[in-house]
């Protein structure tokens, strides 16, 4: 985490939003963040929950990464794109410039679970209802744009267009993870699978914690 903070944790311009970037093979910093990276927010929330976050720094990072993951969903369809890019140069003369943007080649949505997973952990740790609100908005967008009338849900070619084109393909992680984390985030019974007694593996399968 120290290395991530020192080398990958940067702020966008002009609003100073925190995100996790990448380092290329030439050691250049590349201001892009895959939807997959949203998992880190949940891991940091778990770090706080399990007493590994002495000064609260991990939880603050978790909140900021969870926030930028929510920003990924702020587009015409409300679905998360595969990758988001950030502006990191401070150009005071360009007042209309946005902090982030989505390239057309990265605008597809596979209905990935990592953002919802992060909001689930953040809600369990903080009890802040905004994470449930974000999850519900994502669910409504999935129902509106990804649901197939004959059954199932489909990946979307471009989240920036309300007239969506479906890929006729549903990833296995969508029912296994995305829907599971949405249920756990939104259910009234938050005692289901308490995090001091259960741990979720990479594919969201709950495993009991043995003393």
The catalytic site residues sit at: 82
- Can you say how many angstroms the Cα of residue 173 is from the centroid of all Cα atoms in its chain? 15
What phi-psi label fits residue 171: left (phi over 0), alpha (psi between -120 and 50 degrees) or beta?
beta
Q: What angle do CA 120, 32, 141 make, to 5 degrees?
A: 45
Q: Do strands 29-30 and 206-208 pair parallel, antiparallel, or not at all (unpaired)?
A: unpaired
Structure-block tokens of residue 90: 């401070």
The response to whether 77 counts as a known ligand-binding position is no
Give the residue from 160, 31, 143, 45 showing the smallest Cα distance to 87. 31
Give the residue from 143, 159, 135 showing the smallest Cα distance to 79. 159
37 φ, ψ to 5°?
-70, -15
Q: What angle do CA 104, 140, 144 make, to 5 degrees?
A: 65
| Distance from C-alpha of 103 to C-alpha of 16, rounded to nearest angstrom | 21
Point out the annotated binding site: 202
Point out the annotated binding site for Ca(2+): 202
């Amino acid at each position: 985490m120290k290395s991530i903070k020192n080398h990958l944790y940067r702020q966008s311009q002009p609003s100073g939003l925190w995100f996790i970037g990448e380092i290329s093979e030439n050691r250049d910093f590349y201001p892009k963040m895959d939807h997959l990276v949203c998992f880190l927010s949940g891991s940091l929330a778990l770090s706080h929950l399990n007493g590994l976050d002495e000064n609260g720094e991990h939880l603050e990072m978790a909140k900021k990464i969870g926030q930028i993951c929510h920003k990924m969903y702020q587009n015409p369809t409300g679905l998360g794109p595969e990758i988001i890019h950030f502006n990191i140069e401070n150009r005071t003369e360009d007042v209309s410039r946005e902090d982030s943007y989505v390239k057309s080649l990265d605008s597809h949505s596979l209905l990935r679970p990592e953002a919802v997973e992060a909001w689930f952990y953040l809600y369990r740790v903080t009890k802040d209802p905004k994470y449930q609100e974000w999850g519900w908005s994502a669910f409504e967008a999935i129902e509106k744009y990804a649901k197939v009338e004959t059954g199932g849900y489909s990946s979307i070619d471009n989240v920036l267009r309300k007239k969506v084109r479906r890929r006729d393909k549903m990833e296995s992680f969508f029912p296994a993870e995305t829907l599971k984390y949405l249920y756990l985030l939104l259910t009234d019974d938050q005692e289901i699978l308490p995090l001091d007694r259960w741990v979720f593996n990479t594919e969201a399968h709950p495993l009991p914690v043995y003393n």
